[in-house]
Each structure stands twice: as C-alpha cells, then as structure tokens.
Amino acid sequence: MKIVVLGGTGDMGAAAVRDLLQNTAVQQVTVAARNTAAAEKLVATLGDRRAVVQKVEATSPAALVRVMQGHDVAAGALGPFYHFEKPLVEAALTAGVDYVSICDDHDAAEAVLALDQLATAKGRKILTGLGWTPGITNLLARKGYNELDNVEKIQVYWSGSAGDSTGLAVILHTLHIFTGEATSFQEGRSVMVQAGSGKETVTFPAPLGKITVFHLGHPEPVTLPRYLPGVKEITLKGGLAENYLHSLAKICVALGLTATASRRQRLGLLMKRMLPLFPAAPGRNLSGIRVDITGRRSGHKIRISYTAADRMRRLTGIPLSIGASMLARGKIKRFGVFAPEAPDAVNPAEFIQELARRNISIERRETEL
C-alpha cells in the first residue's frame, strides 16, 4: 500500500508517518510538504527507504491532486482544518483516492459531509475526523451506544496542555473553537451555543486530574447524532490544564482578535513565538479524553465512562495511521463522506485493539445510577 501524508512534518503528521512505517504491508509513505527541508530532515531521522518526500503547495488544488495521485490513501494532517479540510477532500475526489483526516473543526466537518453524495457516486471513501478528538472519542461513543439498550445522552470531554503541543495549527484551532458559536445537540436537536460557555470541572486520568472545560466547536455534536439515533443530548466540552489560557483566549475573542481567519493567523504566529514564555502546568503535559454514555440496560440506568491519556501527537497521529491502513486494506466498507462512528466504517473493537498494540490504553468504568 502507498500512502501520502499531507502535513507530515507536523507533530501529528510525523507521528502518523512513523506509525505507518511500522506496518510491513506499507510499500511507501510520501511526506508531502511545502517545507521540503523539514520533510527531508524527518525522513533522514526515520532511516527507512520507504519514506519519500514530495513538495506540495497546499493552497493549489492542482498541486494537491498531483501529489495524491498514485497513492492508495491520502492522510490529512494539515491544519487548520477550517481552511484545508474541504480542499483536501475535493482534491482526493478528483484524484480518485480514498482519504482520512484528523479534522477537528465543526464547521469543516459540516462542509465535507455535504459532499457525501458526490463521494458515493465516485465510489470513494472519505473518513473525516479520525484522530484524538474527534476520532477515539467517536468510537468510544459508538462502543458505549452498542452496549446499552437505549442511550439518553453522550458527554464528550477533552483536556490538553500548553506543554503537550506547540504547533501553529494547534494554536489556530484553539483560537477558532473559542470564537463565536459552537454546535451542540440538546433535547433531540442541533443548537448553537456560545463557545467558551457551560463551564464545568471534569476529572481525567492521572496526571491530568480535574480540568475546567467549556462548550467548544468540535465535530462530535455534528456527526454523532447522524449515526447514533435516539440520543437526546450529545455535548462536547474541552479545556486546558493551564486555566489562565482560557482567560487569555476569551480576552482575545472579546477584543475581536480572532474574528477572521487572517486575524487568527496573525495572532497565532505571535502566540507561537511567545509560547515559551507561557508556563505549562507542571507534571500535566499530557492530553486526555473522557466519554460518558448514559442510558438503560435491562431496565437499569447505566453510565459507561471511557478515559485515556497520552501525548497529543500519539493520541492523534496513531489513529490517523490506523485509519489509513484500514482504508488501504479494504477494512472499511462504507462509501461517501462519513465520520468513524458511522455504520460500516471503523470497527470500535478492532480499533481499540490497534491502540492497545501501541500502548494506548482505554479505561472503562460502568456505574449503575
């Protein structure tokens, strides 16, 4: 199998490249990047002849099509996804290549889901949002949903740290999801809520512990209601171990510094340069997830909680690698544009087994309410 990784020099993309090269069935991994010097440096450290570099200008649709052609799967690790996900999907459809991404922006997910009929007609498989959150979170929601007779609500939580990732795309994503309104699913319908509202304290696995989280713009409340019928409430809240960064983000939003993509770009570049001055929460430089599924089984009200914690690059890049391999091997049967929890998409049990092989463990707790 031949796989091209867009954004392969970033934290998440590089983790995906490394993991793909652990797969003996992979014949070639193409690291596609504008900065070929960074790509060559990465490939040199890998010491694997199956890893090659190809220059691409991601703002050029024709260039994206050319770099994808000749591969079995294109893997999208190129953020921010509110800017790149739709062009990457459109390029994959033109190139005739299946595609998987770590898209984590709710508006970008909505934009590519609108291409479902076109992708189905072309016989292509476009899997959007298979990373940490969304991705692992979606499949844990699907697993819990399958374990209960009926599900009333699904609560997805994530936590991160300034000490766990310093990439520009992560900064831009954080600014984006704190800006404006976020999609949520409440009382059986999709609603918009103010990003940064709904403050809550949630306990994550050690060493993260208690983290303050808020409604933020992520794809889970967009995609989960599509594929998990009958659930009345699906919410997504996230936050950072460093509480002062929440306040900083809200101030930037209030001042209008994040109101447009160009403003976010300028602010993101400034924050990236200043990030070493921002103190990270000591001993908490990991990222975590928690997914609570509440419903009934045999007449009893049950809550199933799944949790995990690891480095962000592993939690995000490894699922991308697993998804690319599943697509290339024909393990995913669904056509069109879809999220990982969709029927005939990613098998949750098989996916969790693949995570365990990479020492990413999922903890499960069941409570009768």
Whether 9 and 128 map to the same domain: the answer is yes
Q: Would residue 104 count as lying in a domain?
A: yes
Is residue 368 in a domain? no
pLDDT number for residue 168: 66
Quickly list DSSP for 115-146: THHHHHHTT-EEE---BTTTBHHHHHHHHHHH
Q: Who has greater pLDDT, 23 or 248?
A: 23
Residue 241: pLDDT above 90?
no
- pLDDT digit string, tens, across residues 300-331: 999 999 999 999 999 999 999 999 999 999 99
3-state SS class at 7: coil
**What is the rounded end-to-end Cα distance, in angstroms, of the chain?**
48
287 and 149 fall within a common domain:
yes
> Is residue 106 in some structural domain?
yes
Taking the C-alpha atoms of residue 183 and residue 195, their distance in angstroms, rounded to an integer, is 9
124 and 163 belong to one structural domain: no
Answer yes or no: do 207 and 328 share one domain: no
- If asked whether residues 184 and 111 sit together in one domain, one would say no
More confident residue, 266 or 354: 354
C-alpha–C-alpha distance, residues 20 and 22, integer Å: 5
Q: Check whether residue 205 and residue 83 sit in a common domain.
A: no
* CATH number for the domain that contains residue 89: 3.40.50.720
| DSSP 3-state of 219 | coil
**Distance in angstroms (rounded) separating the CA atoms of residues 185 and 167:** 30
Residue 319: CB partners within 8 Å, gap ≥ 6? 102, 130, 131, 132, 135, 136, 351, 355
pLDDT band at 236 (very low <50, low <70, confident <90, very high): very high
The per-residue pLDDT for 249 is: 77
Q: Determine the structural domain holding residue 337 and report its residue range.
A: 2-132+313-361
Return the amino acid letter for 326: M
- Residue 217's nearest CA partner among 133, 294, 305, 314 is 133
Q: Cβ-count burial of 147 within 10 angstroms (0-12 exposed, 13-18 middle, 19+ buried)? A: middle
The pLDDT confidence band at residue 77, using thresholds 50, 70 and 90, is very high
Q: What is the average per-residue pLDDT within 218-239?
A: 97
The span from the CA of 134 to the CA of 128, in Å, is 9
110-123 average pLDDT score: 98
The verdict on residue 366 lying in a domain is: no
For residue 2, pLDDT over 70 is answered with yes
Q: Average pLDDT in the 275-289 region?
A: 76
Residue 235: pLDDT over 70: yes
Strand order in the sheet with 73-76: 51-55, 28-33, 2-6, 73-76, 98-101, 125-127, 336-338
pLDDT tier at 266, thresholds 50, 70, 90 = confident
Biggest CA–CA distance in the chain, Å, is 60
Q: Indicate whether 367 belongs to any domain.
A: no
Would you call 334 helix, strand, or coil by DSSP?
A: coil
Same domain, 86 and 156: no
Spatial separation of the C-alpha atoms in residues 191 and 193, rounded to whole Å: 7
Q: Is the pLDDT of residue 45 over 90?
A: yes
CA distance 126 to 103: 12
User: What CA–CA distance (Å, rounded) separates 87 from 363?
Assistant: 36
How much is the pLDDT for 356?
Answer: 97
CB 148 within 8 A of CB 231: no
Query: Looking at per-residue confidence, does 286 or 322 come out higher?
Result: 322
At 86, list the tokens.
């739709």
| Same domain as 159, residue 282 | yes
Q: Give the pLDDT band of residue 178 (cuts 50, 70, 90).
A: confident
CATH code for the domain of 188: 3.30.360.10
- Is residue 182 domain-shared with residue 83, that is, in the same domain? no
Are both 213 and 99 inside the same structural domain?
Answer: no
Q: Is residue 369 part of a domain?
A: no
142 within a domain of the structure (yes/no): yes
Average pLDDT score over the chain: 92
Lowest mean pLDDT across 126-130, 235-239, 247-251, 278-282 = 278-282
Q: How many domains does the chain have?
A: 2
Q: Judge whether residue 366 has pLDDT over 80.
A: yes
pLDDT (tens digit per residue) in 121-159: 999 999 999 999 999 999 999 999 999 999 999 999 999
Q: State pLDDT tens for residues 7-40.
A: 999 999 999 999 999 999 999 999 999 999 999 9
Alpha helices in 255-311 (DSSP H): 261-274
Contact 335, 120 (CB under 8 A): yes
Is 187 part of a structural domain of the chain?
yes
Q: Which of 68-72, 159-163, 320-324 has the lowest mean pLDDT?
A: 159-163
Q: What mean pLDDT is predicted for residues 241-269? A: 78
On whether both 85 and 200 belong to a single domain, the answer is no
Instruction: Give kind and range of the element (H or E) at residue 287.
Output: strand 287-297
**CA distance to 75, 267, 270, per residue, from 195 (Å):** 29, 18, 22
Residue type, 129: G
The average pLDDT across 93-101 equals 98
Condensed to tens digits (0 to 9), the pLDDT of residues 327-355 reads 999 999 999 999 999 999 999 999 999 99
Q: How confident is the model at residue 167 (pLDDT cuts 50, 70, 90)?
A: low
Task: State both tokens at 156.
Answer: 């997805």
Rounded to whole angstroms, the Cα distance separating 10 from 222 reads 26
125 & 140 share domain: no
Confidence of residue 247 (pLDDT cuts 50, 70, 90): confident
